[in-house]
Structure 1
Amino acid sequence: MTRSAEAANDRIALVFGMANYRHLPPLTNTKNDAEAISQTLENIGFDVTLSVDASGAEMERLLQDFSFRSEVADLALIYFAGHGIEVQGENFMIPVDANVASNKDVQSQSPSLKNLLSAVDRARKMRIVILDSCRDNPLGDSLDLAASQATGTANTDETTRGGGGLAAANPDRGTLVAFAAKDGQVALDGSGNNSPFALSLMEKMTQPGLEISLMFRQIRDSVLEQTGNLQEPHTYGSLTGIPFYLAGPAQGGETLDTSDASKAWSSLRPDQEEQLLALADLGDTRSMLGLAYMRLNPNEGRFDPKAAVDFLGRAAAAGSPEAQFELAKLYERGTGVAQDEEKALELYRAAAGQNFADAINDLGFLHYQGGLGLPADPGKALRFFERAADLRHPQAQFNFAALIDDGHIPSKGPEDAAKYLYDALRSGSRDVLNLLSERPTMFTPDTRRALQVRLKDNRFYTGAIDGDFGPGTQRSIRRAYGIEDS
C-alpha cells in the first residue's frame, strides 16, 4: 500500500459578468468588474474563461465544462458579478435571459450557489467561489408576493428576501465562498467604473506573499473603509491548513512546497504572523493551525513543539478536524507532549467523525495492522479504507482499488477497482500515475481492461480494450492525470 500523493499545479478560473439583462434592470459595473477581475487573474497565472452576459444555457454549459477541468487543477475559482437572489434560503445567480416573476421562475431558470460549488468541488487543493452579486433584489417585494400567493404563506424567512442580499453559505471543508457583502446585506456598485469590492479584490490578489485567508481579511477592511462601514464582505467555509498565495510568494521568496505544511507556513512574513496571532486570539482555528505548523518546523528558529501542541489543542477544542488529526499524531509520537496512545486514538476518531479523510485512512491502517492498542481487524480496516476512498482521498482510493483487485472484497469487481484507480488519477495521485505507468501488471487483466473502458468513456483513450498498457493507454493515463504530451 502507498501512503503519499502528489497533484498537478494548475489554477483555473471561470468569470461571469452579467450587465445587459433582457427582463430585469441592467447593472452598470458588473461587466467592467468581470473583465477587470479576469485580466487580474490572468496576470497572476490563472487560465481564465470569461463570459459576459451569458444565457442560462450558456452558464450551464460553462459550469459543466469547468467542473470537468477542475478535477486536474490545484485551485478552481468562480467569480460572478450580476443579479443574485435568495429564494427559500438558497442563493441563485441570474443569467441575462431569465424572465422571472416568481420563486419557481428563479429556481428553474438560474444556477444556484450549489451548482457553482459543484463545479469547483473536485479541484485538488483549493476551491473558491466569489459572489459580487449581493445587490438589491431587482424584483423587490413583488417576488415575495408571488411566492406568498403560490405557497399560501407570507413568512419572509421562507420566501425571497425583498430587500436584497444573499443567504449565508455553508460550503464543505477546503472550499471558500466570498460574498461582496455579508448575508442579508446589499453590495454597492460604487461611483467609478468598478465596485468597491472588485477594486479591493484586484488590489489584494496581486500582492505576492499575501496568504489567502489574510488577503480576504484585508479586502474586508478595505471595503469597509471605502463604503463608510456600509458594506462588509464576508467569507464562509474553512480552508485546509496549507497556506496559499494567489500571486505567489513574496519577492525573492522560494516557491512553496505545499506538501509540507510546516515549511510552507514558516515562509510567512513576520507581519502576517502577527495577524495570525491576532486572529487566533479571536478564535480563528486556521490561524491556530498555521501558527502550530510554524512551530513544528525543526529547521526554523520558531521550532517549539509544546507551543504547537497548545495551538492545536485550542483549535481541536474548537472543533477543527485537521487540528484534531495533527494533535493525534503528536500524542501518538510523544512530540511536544507526553506520549498517550489512548488520547491519540480519541483524537483520530474525533477527526474521522467529522469526515476528515486523512484520519479515516489512518484509522484504516491502525485497524489493518493493529496499533494504538487496537487488535488487527482487516474487515473493519476495509470499511475505513472504503469510506476514505469515497471521500476522494487519493491514497485510500488506490489502496481500496488494490484490495478489490486482490479479491479481498467479494462484493466488488474489476469495474469498481477501475473506478477508484481512475478517481485517484483525477485526484492527483502521483503514486497511481507512476505505478500504472511502470508496473501496470500489478493489477489483473480484468481490472486493466475495465480501466481502459473508463478512460475511453471519458474520451482519454481510443484504442483497443485488451488490458495491454502500451503507448496509447499510457498516454491516456497521463492525460487523465492532467499531463498533456507535447
Structure 2
Amino acid sequence: MTRFFKVLTAIVCFALPQIAEAARDRIALVIGMADYQYLPPLENTHNDANGMAQSLENIGFDVTLALDATAQQMVGLLDDFAFRSEVADLALVYFAGHGIEVQGENFLIPIDANVTSNRDVQRQSASLKQLLAAVDRARKMRIVILDSCRDNPLGDSIALDQSNASGTASEETRGGGGGMAAVDPDRGTLVAFAARDGQVALDGTGNNSPYAQALMQKMAQPGLEISLMFRQVRDLVLEKTGNLQEPHTYGSLTGVPFYLAAATQDGAEAVPAGTSEAWSAIKPDQEEQLLALAEQGDTRSMLGLAYMRLNPNAGRFDPVAAVDFLQRAADAGAPEAQFELAKLYERGTGVPANPQKALELYQAAAAQNFADAINDLGFLHHQGGLGLQANPQKAYGFFQRAAELRHPQAQFNFAALIDDGLVPGKGPTEAAHFLYAALRSGSADVLDLLSKRPNMFTLNTRRALQDKLKENKFYQGSIDGDFGPGTQRGIRRAYGLDG
C-alpha cells in the first residue's frame, strides 16, 4: 500500500484511472545518419530510421524522426527528448549510423563530425551516456537501441593516434575492426546493440539491415513481452546472417511485464494493473519460454513466474512455488526478488512468517539501492516493526535516500518531513524540489493530494512550489501560495496532463 505523511490514516490509496490512462505516453527519438560529410556513407540507415519511425508510430509511439543530424542538432534533440521523457511511461531512442568505442566508452557520430583521432571522437560525437541521460527520467521503462556497430569508420587511425582527451595512451577499438563496448545501465533501462560487444553489425544487402528488419517484424507482434521480443530478434538475426551477427542487450528490466505492441492479439491496449495479474495474462507459449529461461538462470523470468503464482484469481495460484522461484532469484542477487520474498516472509504467505528473515531480505534489497525496500525500511524505522525499535531520525535518512532514487512516495514523504521542520538544514525550497519531482515521476496519488489538499503544506512551501512550476514554464501567475485555477493547471501540466 502507498503511505503518506500529513494524512490522518498514514495509509492512503487513490484510484484515478482517468489520470493513469492519460499519463501512458510512449515517446521515441529515431535518428538515422547516412550522408556523412567526412566519413564513408552508409547505405541503409535512412531506410532503417524511416522504417523504425513508421513501425513505432503504428504501435502508438509519439515519434521524432531526425535524418543526418549535425552535432549541434543532436544536442538539441537529446535535450528536448530528455525533458519530454520525464512524463512518459516509456522513452526509446534508436540510432542508426556510425558508432565507435573509444577507451571503453561508446560514441555515436553525427553527420558533420570530422574525426581522425580519439580526441575528435570524444569532442564531436554524442556519447551513449548522453543517450541514456535523455531517457533516464521516463517513468516505467527506458530503451536505447544502437544499430551502429557496422564498421570502424576511422580504419586504423584510432590505433595510430596515441593522444586522447586525458593525455594518456589510447586503446584500439575492441575487436580490431569495430564494434561497441559492453555497458551496465541502471535498473529499468535496456540498451540493445545490433551486435555483441566487439562484433561488427552488417548493413545488409536489402533495403534494411538484418537487425532493423528483425526489430520491425517483432516489435509489431501483439502480446509479445519485451524481454522475449528482444530474444526473438536475436534469434532471427542469427538465422538471417548465418550466425555472423548476434544482437545483445544489456540492463535489467523491472519485474513488470511490458509490451511494445498491444498486449493481446485482438489489439486491446489494456494490461491488468497489478503485476501478478499482468504476468498471469501472458500467453502459454511465452510461459514455456520463461520456464526455459529460468532454468538457464534468468532472474527476471523467475520473477515473472513467481508473480503468476501469487495471483489468487488465476489458475496458476501456488504461493509455495512462488517462494521457490523468488528464492532462486534472490539467491542470485536480484533485488526485486529479495523485496518480494521479504513481503512473503513478513506476511507468512507460502512460508511460515519470519520477521527476522523478512528484515534481512529488505536490507539486502536496500543494499542494492532498490528504492521500494529503502522506502519500506524508512517506515519500519519510523513506526517500529520486524524487531526494529522506532527511530524517526534514522527513518528520515531512508526516506531521503529513496527520494533521491526517485521513489515518488518517498519524495512526497520527505517533502512533508522537510515542511514539518524535521530535517535539519532543509527548508521550503528543498520541500518544493521533492514535491515537483514526485509530480514529474507520475504519482497520481501526489497529484490528487496537491490538487485537493494543498494546504497540508505551509505557505512558504506552496510558494516555493509555485516558483518551481514557473521556473519550468508550467505556471505564469503570482508567487502567493494560493493554489487557485492557475496553479492547479500548472500542477497538472507538470504531471503530464493538458491543463
TM-score range, shorter chain: over 0.9
**Does residue 1:26 correspond to 2:41, yes or no?**
yes
**Does residue 1:236 correspond to 2:269, yes or no?**
no
Hey, what's the Cα distance between the residues in 1 that align with 2:122 and 2:41? 20
Hey, what's the Cα distance between the residues in 2 that align with 1:44 and 1:396? 33
**Does residue 1:193 correspond to 2:216, yes or no?**
no
**Does residue 1:138 correspond to 2:160, yes or no?**
no
How does 1:114-193 map onto structure 2 within 5 Å? 114-147=129-162, 153=169, 155-156=171-172, 162-193=176-207
Counterpart residue number, 1:457: 471
Task: Indicate conservation of the 8 Å contact 2:89/2:138, yes or no.
Answer: yes
> Residues 207 and 445 from structure 1, CA distance in 2 versus in 1: closer, same or farther, beyond 3 angstroms?
same
**Does residue 1:435 correspond to 2:433, yes or no?**
no
**Does residue 1:85 correspond to 2:100, yes or no?**
yes
Counterpart residue number, 1:383: 397
**How many residues matched?**
483
Residue 147 of structure 1: SS of its match in structure 2? coil
Task: Indicate conservation of the 8 Å contact 2:151/2:178, yes or no.
Answer: yes
> What TM-score do you get using the length of structure 2 for normalisation?
0.95
Pick from 354, 362, 365 the counterpart of residue 348 of structure 1. 362
Name the amino acid aligned to 2:356.
E
Task: Indicate conservation of the 8 Å contact 2:119/2:163, yes or no.
Answer: no
Counterpart residue number, 1:300: 314
1:233-275 residue CA offsets vs partner (Å, 9 max, x unmatched): 0000000000001101122475444641100000000000000
Task: Indicate conservation of the 8 Å contact 1:32/1:193, yes or no.
Answer: yes
Name structure 2 gaps, 5 residues minimum: 5-11
Name the amino acid aligned to 2:385.
G
Name structure 1 gaps, 5 residues minimum: none
Question: Percent identity at matched positions?
Answer: 74
1:23-61 residue CA offsets vs partner (Å, 9 max, x unmatched): 000000001000000000000000000000000000000
Alignment root-mean-square deviation, CA: 1.5
Hey, what's the Cα distance between the residues in 1 that align with 2:163 and 2:268? 58
Hey, what's the Cα distance between the residues in 1 that align with 2:391 and 2:180? 49
1:415-444 residue CA offsets vs partner (Å, 9 max, x unmatched): 000000000000001111111111111111
Pick from 80, 101, 119 the counterpart of residue 116 of structure 2. 101
Task: Indicate conservation of the 8 Å contact 1:243/1:258, yes or no.
Answer: no
1:85-141 residue CA offsets vs partner (Å, 9 max, x unmatched): 000000000000000011010000011000000000000000000000011101111
1:348-373 residue CA offsets vs partner (Å, 9 max, x unmatched): 00000000000000000000000000
Counterpart residue number, 1:397: 411
Counterpart residue number, 1:64: 79
State the Cα distance separating 1:410 from its structure 2 match: 2.7
> Residues 344 and 152 from structure 1, CA distance in 2 versus in 1: closer, same or farther, beyond 3 angstroms?
closer
Counterpart residue number, 1:357: 371
**Does residue 1:205 correspond to 2:189, yes or no?**
no
1:59-104 residue CA offsets vs partner (Å, 9 max, x unmatched): 0000000000000000000000000000000000000000001101
> Residues 258 and 428 from structure 1, CA distance in 2 versus in 1: closer, same or farther, beyond 3 angstroms?
farther
Hey, what's the Cα distance between the residues in 2 that align with 1:287 and 1:440? 42
Hey, what's the Cα distance between the residues in 1 that align with 2:164 and 2:462? 58
Hey, what's the Cα distance between the residues in 2 that align with 1:393 and 1:217? 30
How does 1:401-440 map onto structure 2 within 5 Å? 401-440=415-454
Hey, what's the Cα distance between the residues in 2 that align with 1:400 and 1:432? 13
Hey, what's the Cα distance between the residues in 2 that align with 1:194 and 1:99? 26
